[in-house]
Amino acid sequence: MNAQMIDEYFKNHREEHLEELKAFLRIPSISSLSEHKDDVRKGAEWLRDAMEKAGLENAKVFETEGHPVVYADWLHAEGKPTVLVYGHYDVQPVDPLNLWETPPFDPQVRDNKLYARGASDDKGQTFMHVKAVEALLQLNGELPVNIKFIVEGEEEIGSPTLPKYVEQNKEQLKADLIVISDTGMQGPGRPAVCYGLRGLAGVQIDVKGPKGDLHSGLYGGAVQNPLHAIVEILQSFRDKEGVIQVEGFYEDVLEVSDEERAEFAALEFDLEKEKQDLGITEDFGEKGYSFVERTWIRPTLEINGITGGFSGEGIKTVLPAEASAKITCRLVPNQDPDDIVAKLRAHVEANKPTGVTVEISDFDKGQPFLTPYDHPAIQAAGRSYEKVYNVKTAFTRMGGSVPIVAVFDQVLGLPVVLMGFGLSSENFHAPNEHFHLENFDKGLRVISGYLFEAANL
Amino acid sequence: MNAQMIDEYFKNHREEHLEELKAFLRIPSISSLSEHKDDVRKGAEWLRDAMEKAGLENAKVFETEGHPVVYADWLHAEGKPTVLVYGHYDVQPVDPLNLWETPPFDPQVRDNKLYARGASDDKGQTFMHVKAVEALLQLNGELPVNIKFIVEGEEEIGSPTLPKYVEQNKEQLKADLIVISDTGMQGPGRPAVCYGLRGLAGVQIDVKGPKGDLHSGLYGGAVQNPLHAIVEILQSFRDKEGVIQVEGFYEDVLEVSDEERAEFAALEFDLEKEKQDLGITEDFGEKGYSFVERTWIRPTLEINGITGGFSGEGIKTVLPAEASAKITCRLVPNQDPDDIVAKLRAHVEANKPTGVTVEISDFDKGQPFLTPYDHPAIQAAGRSYEKVYNVKTAFTRMGGSVPIVAVFDQVLGLPVVLMGFGLSSENFHAPNEHFHLENFDKGLRVISGYLFEAANL
């Protein structure tokens, strides 16, 4: 078996693979919405069946306190390393639905891109690992390494139960390295291996005022308006440049070396093109840091939603009884999510508006993650990309979080290789999510090649 | 015919009157929502039929560019004054629907209160005027004064077309005074004639950032978040005590005399009870003004709603493409709504956050209104209340707006008598709106008596 045979195999099975992926994408496995609980389970069961079909063994849907985990393995490469592949089969919510050009769970190919919620993040990329195994087993009857899959259904809600599963199943998950495809490439045709991710701390702020909605004409000016109160709290979090005003927020931030910042600066990042792609006329953020640095090595605090009062057509002169906001902070090494939530609470306590009660609930947390970019497993990933894409692989960090990465790092003590195939333009977490099939095709070959590289680690 | 006969008549017809009013309240005539356009028309037609049944003449639904106006008259009291009665048959939206104990358009009597959207504001009170006319015509075959009704269907959206109707129909609306029952009493058993109302200026602020929703982990900190931008704008409008920071906002405010403020202070306003009723632990607002003064003689700026980002269960790490807010200002004499909107626009222009576009639309406007409280028509209203309620009538101002009042004042040049029967606890503009039937019963007698008082003006 050589690379050409593998390429040929993927070409010949392309339509069949795409049809299978579409079936996977038709399942609305939105983990954050309780009405989709059964759909999330359907996603797990579909994946288990696909793993069995691929030739993986011990494929099983494992129960957790939340959505289930899917496991499968193939462990017959005696004396060879064991690769643990992690992915997630849950997806983000789809609102605002009216902005989707085609329905989010009716996958369609347009212009060699596959449009559907989850096409890129992360069903498409997880599916590629299963198909790479299937290809090698079909062609050769065996794999160059031992392999284990652990695919969860709660990544988009911050992986609340997987850490416990990992703690309790260390033996099942024992491996030599972990491979994850849930990050992005540097740009079209520009592969990247990511060696650092930001962490996450998410909170909801609920402000309550009068016991019922009031007429704003009769009570405005004499009763604190929960909307004004929440605005006061939210405005206190940041200054106009986005610098976070929460006391001690930056105190644990690990300084990034000049050398590393020089490497970021050398990346061909085109700010003007980025602004054009995003539809903005000016960028934003902390002075002294580049666009890339603001999203990779600096922590953030972003409002994700505000709710309160009347949102229909026209106006309603209401002073609402309550208002809510959702915010998430992205954290960098060595910030700790629990510590940050405590600081947010203290900040709100110190800046509490008069005349209302304020409650803070914390839900989503993830540790930031960093691994040396000169680790052999990382370098091997770079070579696998280069053989297929024929360009130098970039070694990058990313602004997003895969909270479970830090858990794998800390609990299993393994090197984590983040080799993603998504593009930042692919609208994951937004309407019209899609996946460039060029990277689907090349990615299958990169992943297959990496299993041979991994055999020599 | 004497007062006793009239009282007897209303007692005997009570059930019949309530059943008729319930039929009126079942029509969901929400003027602000375009899907209820036909219902608003049904409300007009129902009222026209009720006026004809009452013995009023020339009852007709008049078209406007918006929702229709209902007119009727009885003009056979030669040599006597003509009373113009104004009311509105449109109602506020009903969300949040889940907070209603019984459906808003399924009127029900509980504990001698009638629960339904519009029960108090203003179908119930308008209906009382029609029934007072009907009673006098039934009992006596004639009225002590000439009477005209003008009832609109756009009060809850700021009466956008009625001013033009009034301008174009000065002859039809010619009268000696105007009576309006759309304000509140001073408290249970404590009648009030209102001689001043605040004006209104409402705007919507739309902030647009990137062309689509972004992942807040990948772009947060480097792209301006429209939610943070709208928070920045909204926070800039007021200080923490509610004092409005818009340049020149207070410059046209007419000073209120110490004498008038002393009269407000003498009203039996129970702040502790008010706070308990509202479910708040502390009041709020401009230092140096009482609760009553903050709502009667000081202008306000209140956020009525904020929309943007994710509002579902859990979190979604989104940096939304846009955010919106609705705000309304209550104005006092001599502030001008157009001038205030211009000042709001200038303020937003001067405080525009970076990285976003901001649009302001103005929709609702109403001039503030003030008439001398010693005017004979006002004093006569006070006497009519006292005969039925057996207590001294208070002469008050109110925080709300009936924008059309200023138009009647300015275009027709007539004294306006605001004699309302609502209570501030009756949840108008909120879930579980209701009307105390004690004031329905007494109000019918007060209104009937006032027509006799008006004959001598």
Per-residue pLDDT, B7: 96
Nearest CA in chain B to A237: B228
Which residues, in sequence order, are bridge partners of residue A324? A206, A307
Cross-chain CB nearest to A294 (options B222, B313, B326) = B222
The DSSP-derived string for A403-453 is HHHHHIIIII---EEEE--B-GGG-TTSTT-EEEHHHHHHHHHHHHHHHHH
The answer to whether the CB of B48 falls within 8 A of the CB of B59 is yes
Per-residue pLDDT, B73: 98
Per-residue pLDDT, A428: 87
According to CATH, where is 3.40.630.10 located in chain A? 3-197+368-454
A90: distance to nearest CA of chain B, Å? 13
d(CA A315, CA B450) in angstroms, rounded, equals 35
Per-residue pLDDT, A257: 83
Q: Cβ of B431 and A212 within 8 Å?
A: yes
Cross-chain CB nearest to B306 (options A212, A224, A308) = A308
Q: Give B103-160 pLDDT, tens digit per residue.
A: 999 999 999 999 999 999 999 999 999 999 999 999 999 999 999 999 999 999 988 9
Model confidence band, residue A388 (pLDDT cutoffs 50, 70, 90): very high
A contacts of B226 (beta carbons < 8 Å): none
Q: Cβ of A328 and B315 within 8 Å?
A: yes
Per-residue pLDDT, B363: 81
Q: Cβ of A399 and B218 within 8 Å?
A: yes
Per-residue pLDDT, B167: 94
Question: What number is the average pLDDT over the span A259-276?
Answer: 87
Q: Cβ of A280 and B429 within 8 Å?
A: no
d(CA B62, CA B319) in angstroms, rounded, equals 48
A contacts of B433 (beta carbons < 8 Å): none
Q: Give the CA-trace dihedral at A278, A281, A286, A292, to 10 degrees.
A: 40
Q: Hey, what are A398's tokens? A: 């990313």
The answer to whether the CB of B370 falls within 8 A of the CB of B199 is no
> Which one of 3.90.660.10, 3.40.47.10, 3.40.50.300, 3.30.70.360 gives the CATH number of domain B199-253+299-366?
3.30.70.360
The DSSP-derived string for B226-281 is HHHHHHHHHHHHB-TT--B-STTTTTTPPPPPHHHHHHHHHS---HHHHHHHHT-S
Question: What number is the average pLDDT over the span A42-71?
Answer: 98
CATH match of A199-257+296-366 with 3.30.70.360: yes
The one-letter amino acid at A63: E
B206: distance to nearest CA of chain A, Å? 12
Nearest CA in chain B to A305: B309
According to CATH, where is 3.30.70.360 located in chain A? 199-257+296-366
Low-confidence residues of chain B: pLDDT under 70: 1, 403
For residue A392, CA distances in Å to A186, A197, B425 come to 11, 21, 71
Which of B36, B39, B59 has the alpha carbon at shortest distance from B48? B59
Q: Cβ of B326 and A306 within 8 Å?
A: no
Cross-chain CB nearest to B304 (options A200, A216, A427) = A216
According to CATH, where is 3.30.70.360 located in chain B? 199-253+299-366
Stated as kind and residue range, the H or E segment containing A139 is helix A123-140
Per-residue pLDDT, A2: 82
Q: Which residue has the tokens 């009576």?
A: B179
Report the number of secondary-structure helices (H) and strands (E) in chain A. Answer: 14, 18
B272: distance to nearest CA of chain A, Å? 13
Q: Cβ of B302 and A228 within 8 Å?
A: yes
**Stronger pLDDT, A39 or A259, i.e. the higher one:** A39
Q: Cβ of B310 and A93 within 8 Å?
A: yes
Which of A31, A30, A255 has the alpha carbon at shortest distance from A160? A31
Contacts of A352 (CB under 8 A, 6+ apart): A233, A358
A contacts of B204 (beta carbons < 8 Å): 315
d(CA B83, CA B60) in angstroms, rounded, equals 18
A303: distance to nearest CA of chain B, Å? 6
Q: Hey, what are B157's tokens? A: 């959206």
Peptide bond into A191 cis (omega under 30): no
Which of the residues A311, A405, A424 would you substitute to probe the B interface, choosing the one with the greatest number of B C-beta atoms within 10 Å? A311
Cross-chain CB nearest to B300 (options A221, A330, A355) = A221
d(CA A433, CA B384) in angstroms, rounded, equals 68
The answer to whether the CB of B155 falls within 8 A of the CB of B121 is no
The one-letter amino acid at B446: V
The answer to whether the CB of B197 falls within 8 A of the CB of B397 is yes
Per-residue pLDDT, A266: 83
Q: Cβ of B304 and A316 within 8 Å?
A: yes
Is pLDDT at A406 greater than 90 in this prediction? no
**Cα three-residue angle A402-A405-A407, rounded to 5 degrees:** 125
**Helical H segments across A2-122, by residue range:** 3-12, 14-25, 37-54
With left for phi above 0 and alpha for psi between -120 and 50, is residue B250 left, alpha or beta? alpha
Contacts of B390 (CB under 8 A, 6+ apart): none
Q: Which residue has the tokens 């609990």?
A: A411
Average predicted confidence (pLDDT) for chain A: 94
B12: distance to nearest CA of chain A, Å? 35
Which of B324, B328, B326 has the alpha carbon at shortest distance from B357? B324
CB pairs A-B closer than 8 Å = 337
Q: Give A214-228 pLDDT, tens digit per residue.
A: 999 889 999 999 999
Q: What is the CATH number of domain B3-197+368-454?
A: 3.40.630.10
Cross-chain CB nearest to B202 (options A33, A315, A328) = A315
Q: How many CB atoms lie within 10 A of CB A254?
A: 12
Sign of the C-alpha dihedral computed for residues A159, A162, A163 and A166 taken in this order: negative
Question: What number is the average pLDDT over the span A431-441?
Answer: 97
A447: distance to nearest CA of chain B, Å? 24
Per-residue pLDDT, B2: 82
Which of A128, A120, A66, A47 has the alpha carbon at shortest distance from A388? A128
d(CA A147, CA A380) in angstroms, rounded, equals 17
Which of the residues B34, B40, B200, B231 would you substitute to probe the A interface, choosing the one with the greatest number of A C-beta atoms within 10 Å? B231
Per-residue pLDDT, B399: 84
Q: Which residue has the tokens 């947060």?
A: B220
What is the total residue count of chain B? 457
d(CA A373, CA A377) in angstroms, rounded, equals 9
Cross-chain CB nearest to B235 (options A232, A298, A313) = A232
Question: What number is the average pLDDT over the span A333-348?
Answer: 96
- 3-class SS at B221? coil
Question: What number is the average pLDDT over the span A47-67?
Answer: 97
Per-residue pLDDT, A64: 95
Which of the residues B332, B429, B432, B433 would you substitute to probe the A interface, choosing the one with the greatest number of A C-beta atoms within 10 Å? B429
